Chains A and B, each alone.
Chain A
Amino acid sequence: MNSLLRRLRAELFATRTDTVLSLALITMLSLGAFGVLRWALTQAQWTVVKVNSTLFAVGRYPVEQQWRLWLLTALLVAASGATWGLLRAHPRPDRTGVLWPRNDRLAVGLLGLIALAVPWALELSLAIASRWWGLAVLLVLCRWLAGRFGPGLSPTGRRLAALVWPLLYLVGMVLISGGLGLVSVSPSEWGGLMLTLLASSFAILLCFPIGVLLALGRRSDLPLLRWGSVLYIEFIRGAPLITLLFLGQNILGFLLPGGLAPDRVWRAAWVLTFFAAAYLAEAVRSGLAAVPRGQLEAARSLGLSYPKALQHVVLPQALRVALPAMVGQFISLLQDTTLLSLIGLLELLGTARTVMANPAFLGRNGEVYLTLAVLFWGCCAALGLGSRALERRLDPHAVPSAT
């Protein structure tokens, strides 16, 4: 306690100016926090969120098919837990880290708290609440398993482990939309957080390869490829996303081969993808520019072909440099999905607008928007934390390794 006080004094009240600034800031912050808390606890009526929690989560997805979404959530939670364990408990493949770093213990505590508090606050039925508790336990369990047994994986095993995510994406698509014996649920019935995450993850997964190809195209020696890439990137970056979304609703059906863009949801997802790819290409280009020319020359002089040199020497370094910028792109992409509400899709914001239009919840905008903000913040925070863990793991100089 004493040391904490001493640290506080050293950091906040060291000089007179520091003291004044600290006091002013502390007052402002506590006033702000107090105001929000007072509003949240006394003024706000949270019924609007409690009653509509399912709507916010999955939109009008048919109730009798919602078990599929629970299953998918469980799979995603398991994969997230495993990834968390692999990234954090082993900062590098050749190294065994601490199984539970301090921040991870904190995170587990926080997650436990959320898992307990949220169902209670939303007044979920015991059956539903216990499912959330089960998911929380599953997350921690997978985190522990991956942290404990991760280093035992062979390099091939580790490479295969990364493939779980794209594979899970395909499984998720089947679970959500149906097929392979499952009743099909049309995209017009998708909504809420599920649609937000679906559209953004679709765009994130697909814009990555397209963006890398565009960045390489822009640096290519072939004039046609270079100019094509430049034209594409500059055109997309010069147009507001909302324009492109409207444009996409009208003309994408003609551009893409039949069957690929049959639905408004998918058209919008494709537009998001193509939009994000142009920005991502610029992030990757900055990464490519950061790799010294000598790297390609060294690889070529060892006999590696150009594609192999890119794959094994240039891109791994370029992408590591570009990672923070790319994650920034992904985060703004996630937030850009709110624009889908303007073309009539019921993602989080769209759902919120239909809820607020309901006369029963008139004037409850504050509660709804705050909920939205917290949900978005949670998703973005997870992306940011994940990327930082990945960055640390990819940094060859982060931890000295033992031979």
Chain B
Amino acid sequence: MSQPSNELMIEARGVEKWYPNGFQALRGASLTVRRGEVVVIMGPSGSGKSTFIRTFNALEDFQKGSITVDGIVLSDDLRNIDAVRREVGMVFQQFNLFPHLSVLDNLTLAPVLVRKRPKAEVEQQAWALLERVGIAEQAGKFPGQLSGGQQQRVAIARALCMEPRILLFDEPTSALDPEMVREVLEVMQNLAADDITMVVVTHEVKFARHVAHRVVLMAEGEVVEEAEPEVFFTNPSHQRTRRFLDQIL
């Protein structure tokens, strides 16, 4: 496992978010992630984990607090938001592949449109990435023809094709059949060995134990506990964490 540097990639301070219906999803959540670090966020459903990481690439807005991603302060400035999204890749629970495009075109769409790179060059890179996640032979197929696990691996390759410095995973294995979870986790584990910074919302305890540098527990819109995996799972300092662990272990 590579060691994270001291450079801060994500710095979220006291983030508060209300939905239009008045519900407060985040109540002063804070988190810092260093370069190359793999952080796993756990927590009961409705605790705001997904909302929290979705604020990191401005898919959700927030009303109070501050978020800095790769040195860019997230604000209402649209140029900032676009800049951040170019640096931050995201993998969704429901894959969200583009069903009208082939696997290869799913990968090349954004680099060609957003980074204005020549199509041939991007395709070469896309082939390499598909090779890496083990589905190069499916490049000409459409997402609807792939299994869930294959789709999620394509989604990871698609995010990587933009060469992001940070990858966010929003419950990447929750929508998968059990036998497909492993193939996706293996791909993620391989990624973690690289320099890339990862923030992963997941319920996969094994992954958290063996891959994460740090595990975070969120509850009621706040970060409750932050610790190295060993400590988190064996000797957490908060009552809330123990209750949560009792339920899932």
A37 to B110, CA, bound (A): 61
CB-based contact A396/B99 at 8 Å: yes
* Chain A residues within 8 Å of B114, by CB: 302-304, 308
Interface presence of B47 (CB below 8 A): no
Quick one: which of A294, A302, A320 contacts B158, CB cutoff 8 A? A302
CB-based contact B85/A294 at 8 Å: no
Q: Which residue of A lies closest to B109 (CB)?
A: A312
* Chain A residues within 8 Å of B158, by CB: 302
Number of residues from A at the complex interface, CB < 8 A: 26
A321 to B88, CA, bound (A): 31
Q: Which of B118-166 contact A (CB under 8 A)?
A: 137-142, 144-145, 158-159, 162
* Chain B residues within 8 Å of A401, by CB: 102, 140-142
CB-based contact A302/B110 at 8 Å: yes
Number of residues from B at the complex interface, CB < 8 A: 33
Return B210 CB to nearest CB of chain A, in Å. Answer: 27
Interface presence of A43 (CB below 8 A): no
Return A110 CB to nearest CB of chain B, in Å. Answer: 34
Interface presence of B249 (CB below 8 A): no
CB-based contact B142/A302 at 8 Å: no
* Chain B residues within 8 Å of A295, by CB: 96, 98
Interface presence of A362 (CB below 8 A): no
* Chain B residues within 8 Å of A304, by CB: 109-110, 113-114
A400 to B142, CA, bound (A): 8
Q: Which of A94, A302, A313, A317 has the most CB of B within 10 A?
A: A302
Interface presence of B90 (CB below 8 A): yes
CB-based contact B85/A301 at 8 Å: yes
CB-based contact B140/A297 at 8 Å: no
Fill in one digit per residue for A284-304: 1 if any B CB lies within 8 Å of its CB, else 0: 000000001011011111111
Interface presence of B202 (CB below 8 A): no
Quick one: given A292-B96, A295-B96, A298-B98, are A403 and B140 in contact (CB under 8 Å)?
yes
Quick one: which of A94, A300, A400, A403 contacts B137, CB cutoff 8 A? A403
* Chain A residues within 8 Å of B140, by CB: 94, 401-403
A304 to B140, CA, bound (A): 23
Q: Which residue of B lies closest to A320 (CB)?
A: B100
A292 to B100, CA, bound (A): 13
Quick one: given A294-B96, A297-B92, are A396 and B144 in contact (CB under 8 Å)?
yes
Interface presence of B89 (CB below 8 A): yes
Return A393 CB to nearest CB of chain B, in Å. Answer: 12
A301 to B169, CA, bound (A): 12
Interface presence of A52 (CB below 8 A): no
CB-based contact A302/B92 at 8 Å: no
Return A50 CB to nearest CB of chain B, in Å. Answer: 50
Q: Which of A114-155 contact B (CB under 8 A)?
A: none
A334 to B35, CA, bound (A): 62
Quick one: which of A297, A305, A396 contacts B82, CB cutoff 8 A? A305
A29 to B59, CA, bound (A): 61
A18 to B83, CA, bound (A): 68
Please name 13 further chain A to chain B contacts, defined as beta carbons within 8 Å, in addition to the given A298-B98, A303-B86, sorted by A numbering. A292-B96, A297-B59, A297-B92, A301-B90, A302-B89, A303-B82, A304-B110, A308-B113, A396-B99, A396-B101, A396-B144, A401-B140, A403-B138
Q: What is A's interface to B at a CB cutoff of 8 Å?
A: 94, 292, 294-295, 297-305, 308, 312-313, 316-317, 320, 394, 396-397, 400-403
Jot down 5 A-B pairs with beta carbons below 8 A, ordered by A.
Answer: A297-B96, A302-B109, A303-B86, A304-B110, A308-B113
